[in-house]
A = this chain, B = another copy of it.
């Protein structure tokens, strides 16, 4: 192991394992995580570097890896140690994204196809489809987005028209913009799809519904007639996830292929509603919490790479009479990486909180109480937007903190970035999500004005109403002080935005008024999300620092200090309009920042190691556990086929003729 890292690790004052256990929710979870990672990753990743392959080769390599994973899954479940539930855990979600870095070509089957049939299918439909799908006898995807419509689902144009004479639905793509576009795994991998289409029956449109449609022959895999299908082309990333396009030309499916749990088309074509369609919000919310959890993991990977590299890399003397310091000694470097680290940890806490929140609300809903659904949904909107924006920004900051070497694929940042940034636009474009949260905040403010009871996550609005009369409260840079200041700031801006929208409504429609105030609405939505993150950080980190060992409790306090101070600095421009912050207070804030960075620097390798990313998962020449950065960088060059011959043929073919042409 590199001596620099060895010495750093010897200085860590706390038990790294204790922190790991907390991050992953307990020692047993960590144990299982390590078992599964070792069992499934071992020998499958980092064998070849796909970045040298052609697009087709990349796809085929991904399918090959899926085949290996499926075999290992089968072997493991056959032992009886795990049941079917292991399939979605390994092949859906984040786990496999460390293994197939440009996206798993059968992920949507487990992430959406199966869950959607469970949530939208009747008992009979589940009995018909789930067993075959669970066995992977059929592979499916979820096809909603179209060329012309993404986030605005109601706008999709694919039609499913019921024909009572044959008791079938007729699927068509009436326009060029109605092409299904983006669904993952759709292009060449799956043979079935859940198609979201406008349902027409008795010449009436009943809105968007879900239909199970076979796309390819189960034996030959040839596309069925009336189906125009293919992939949408190369992207910044996710090039092995096989995003597809799909157009229907009079494709007929049986009536029973419409998922009818929530609403039904009877044999004679009558449309009957069974359940509150609102419930679909539940699925969207779940997906968004999953995204928060996923970007948190990828951000943490970037942070770990940047920290380890910064503890090995020496550059630019601070004092010319001394040897070049580790770049981590530059306070500017600490300020790039450590706040990102604190955000990854706070996102981790927040995702856990949101999961609990989600299951509580779902229980209430099962008991017929929908009262808190909109609170949950609107919170998941702004949090998904904030966390994906932050993670993308900070992954880039971590890459840039490693200088030029961060630009090399072998450093690991490229794959992470390509995986994180699309989350800013998929599952709800972030600006649209902010605006949805804002609508909830305006309604909540109205409630507050009327003195009605407020849901817990917006309860801080109440406080502001009562304190409205008082003069600007003065800034206090303690964690709880910063939380209070951000709450007052958010509340004040929500009040202002509400007033502006109401003023506009005197002359414009409500929608036009909201658009006119769009910039303010995005801002209040963001501030509300920040308040939630601060609240969660303060509550959870204070709690755990009480429960944990004295050595580790200091770490939690430092993380909380850094996260709150960093947030305060980033929102100074907003806060200062509503809080009185004199120059002394803002210098004190700067002082706290510098002090906490210095403290964290002393043990930061311990936090990095605690994230417990194996070298296979990190797959980084400059971030590996042993810190042998330069040796690994040079070794990685042997992966380049260009280096397998001393002279590339293009010299004789194109260059030499010209160089010898005596210009």
Chain B residues near A663: list those with CB within 8 A: 74, 134-137
A319 CB within 8 Å of chain B: yes
A220 at the interface (CB under 8 A from B): yes
Residues of B within 8 A of A290 (CB): none
Most buried by B among A66, A236, A646, A649: A236
- The residue that A176 contacts in the complex, of B52, B71, B630, with Cβ under 8 A, is B630
A425-B406, A522-B332 given; A318·B515 CB < 8 A: yes
Instruction: Tell me, yes or no, whether A424 is within 8 Å of chain B by CB.
Output: yes
A452-472 vs B: 1/0 string, CB under 8 Å? 000000000000000000000
A509–B318 Cα distance when bound, in Å, is 9
Nearest Cβ on chain B to A491's Cβ, whole angstroms? 15
Q: Which chain B residues border A145 with CB–CB below 8 Å?
A: 404
- Segment touching B, from A13-21, A92-100, A631-639: A631-639
- Given A182-B404, A516-B594, A572-B573, check contact A63 B414 (CB 8 Å): no
Bound-state CA distance A59–B187 (Å) is: 28
How far is A432 from B330 in the complex, measured between Cα atoms in Å? 10
Minimal beta-carbon separation of A544 from chain B (angstroms): 29
Please tell me how many copies of the chain the complex holds: 2
Cβ-defined contact, A519 with B332, below 8 A: yes
A637 CB contact (under 8 Å) in B71, B231, B403, B520? B231
How far, in angstroms, from A152 to B637 measured CA to CA in the complex? 24
Distance of A659 from chain B, by nearest CB (Å): 5
Shortest Cβ distance from A647 into B: residue: B221
**Segment of A251-259, A546-554, A610-618, A650-658 in the binding face:** A650-658
Q: Is the CB of B60 within 8 A of A630?
A: no
Determine the residue in chain B with the shortest Cβ distance to A155: B324
Chain B residues within an 8 Å CB radius of A407: 235-238, 421-422, 425
Give CA–CA (A59, B641) in the complex, Å.
11
Q: How far is the CA of A651 from the CA of B106 in the complex (A)?
A: 12
A320: contacting residue among B71, B511, B522, B572, CB under 8 A: B511
A429 at the interface (CB under 8 A from B): yes
- Residues 117-136 of A, flagged 1 when their CB comes within 8 A of B and 0 if not, give 00000000000000000111
Q: Does B55 lie within 8 Å of A642, measured CB to CB?
A: yes
**A623 CB to closest chain B CB, in angstroms?**
15
Chain B positions within 8 Å of A408 at CB level? 232-235
By the criterion CB–CB under 8 Å, are A637 and B594 in contact? no
How distant is the Cα of A320 from the Cα of B315 in the complex, in angstroms? 58
Contacts of A222 in B (CB 8 A): 646-647
Contact of A662 among B135, B179, B426, B661 (CB under 8 A): B135
B-side contacts of A221, CB under 8 Å: 647, 651-652, 656
With beta carbons under 8 angstroms apart, the residue of B234, B316, B426, B429 that contacts A409 is: B234
A515: B residues at CB distance < 8 A: 318, 329-331
Known contacts: A151-B316, A648-B60. The answer to whether A425 contacts B400 by CB under 8 A is yes
Chain B residue contacts of A630, Cβ below 8 A: 147-148, 176-177
B60 and A55 contact, CB distance less than 8 A: no
Nearest B residue (CB) for A220 = B647
Question: In the bound complex, how far is the Cα of B649 from the Cα of A661, in angstroms?
Answer: 46
A563 interface contact, C-beta 8 A: no
Return the chain B residue nearest A148 by Cβ: B630
A639 to B233 alpha-carbon distance, docked (Å) = 8
A169 close to chain B: CB less than 8 A: no
Q: Are A59 and B642 in contact (CB under 8 A)?
A: yes
Contact B658 A70 (CB under 8 A): yes
* Cβ proximity bits A23-65 to B, threshold 8 Å, 1 near / 0 not: 0000000000000000000000000010111111101100110
Separation in Å of the A468 CB from the closest CB of chain B?
14
Contact, CB under 8 Å: A654 / B425 = no
Contact across chains for B431 and A404 when beta carbons are under 8 A apart: no
Task: Check: A271 CB closer than 8 A to any chain B CB.
Answer: no
CB pair B425 A404 closer than 8 Å:
yes
Instruction: From A138, A316, A522, name the one whose CB has the most chain B CB atoms within 10 angstroms.
Output: A316
- Inter-chain contact B650/A63, CB cutoff 8 Å: yes
Cβ B230 vs Cβ A658 within 8 A: no
Q: List 12 A-B contacts (CB under 8 A).
A: A52-B55, A52-B234, A63-B650, A139-B659, A150-B403, A176-B631, A231-B637, A232-B633, A233-B409, A233-B410, A573-B573, A573-B574
List 14 additional A-B contacts (Cβ < 8 Å) besides A54-B54, A67-B654, A336-B431.
A53-B54, A64-B650, A64-B653, A64-B654, A137-B663, A147-B630, A147-B634, A221-B647, A222-B646, A232-B633, A233-B409, A319-B509, A332-B431, A403-B425
